[in-house]
Chains A and B, each alone.
Chain A
Amino acid sequence: MNELWTEIVNFISGEKMWSIIRATILVFIGFALAKLVSSSINKLLVKKTDTHRMMIIKRGSYYLIVILFLISALHELGFNLGVLLGAAGIFTVAIGFASQTSASNLISGLFLMGERPFTVGDIIRVGTTTGEVLSVDLLSVKLRTFDNLFVRIPNESLIKSEVTTLTRFPIRRIDVLVGVAYKEDLKQIREVLDEVADKNPLCLEEPKPLYIFRGFGESSLDIQYSVWAKRENFLDLKNSIYEEIKNAFDSRGIEIPFPHRTIYTGSVTAPFPIKKVDNNSTDTD
Chain B
Amino acid sequence: MNDTTPSTSFWWGQYNLSSNQNKKWCIGPLALIVRCLNGEWQVGYERQENTEVCESSWSTSDTDQPPESLEEYARYIFRETTGLLTITPQLADRAVVTRPLSPFSLIAGEEATIYISSPIWLSLSVGQSNKKLDEIGIQRPSDTWFGPSPREGELCYASSTHCRLSLDELPLRTHRAITPLVIQNQADSTLLVERINLPAPMLPLFSSDDGQLWTPKVTLTREKDGDMAALIIDTLPPEEATGATQLNKPRKSTSGSVLIRAFNAVFS
Contact = CB atoms under 8 A, between A and B. Distances in A.
A, B from the same assembly: yes
Interface of A: 169-171, 198, 200-207, 228-230, 233
Contacts of B268: 207
B47 to A, nearest CB: 10
Interface string B94-132: 000100000000000000000000000000000000000
A174 to B, nearest CB: 13
Given A201-B140, A205-B144, 20 more contacts: A169-B150, A170-B151, A170-B153, A171-B145, A171-B155, A198-B142, A201-B143, A202-B143, A204-B143, A204-B145, A205-B142, A205-B158, A206-B158, A206-B195, A207-B145, A207-B150, A207-B268, A228-B145, A229-B143, A230-B155
Interface residues of B, number: 16
Nearest to B155: A230
A283 B153 CA distance: 77
Residue among B140, B142, B267 with most chain A CB within 10 A: B142
Nearest to B265: A206
A202 B141 CA distance: 9
A229 B158 CA distance: 13
A206 B97 CA distance: 10
B146 interface: yes
Given A171-B150, A228-B150, A206 B144 contact: yes
A206 B194 CA distance: 13
Contacts of B143: 201-205, 229-230, 233
Contacts of B267: 207
B142 A204 contact: yes
A61 to B, nearest CB: 50
A178 to B, nearest CB: 21
A204 B158 CA distance: 9
A230 B142 CA distance: 12
A201 to B, nearest CB: 5
B237 to A, nearest CB: 30
Contacts of B144: 204-206
Contacts of A204: 142-145
B155 A201 contact: no
A218 B36 CA distance: 61
A2 B191 CA distance: 118
Contacts of A171: 145, 150, 155
A169 B151 contact: yes
Contacts of B140: 201
A132 to B, nearest CB: 22
Contacts of A200: 142
A109 B136 CA distance: 48
6 contacts: A169-B150, A170-B155, A206-B97, A206-B195, A207-B150, A230-B143
A228 B140 CA distance: 18
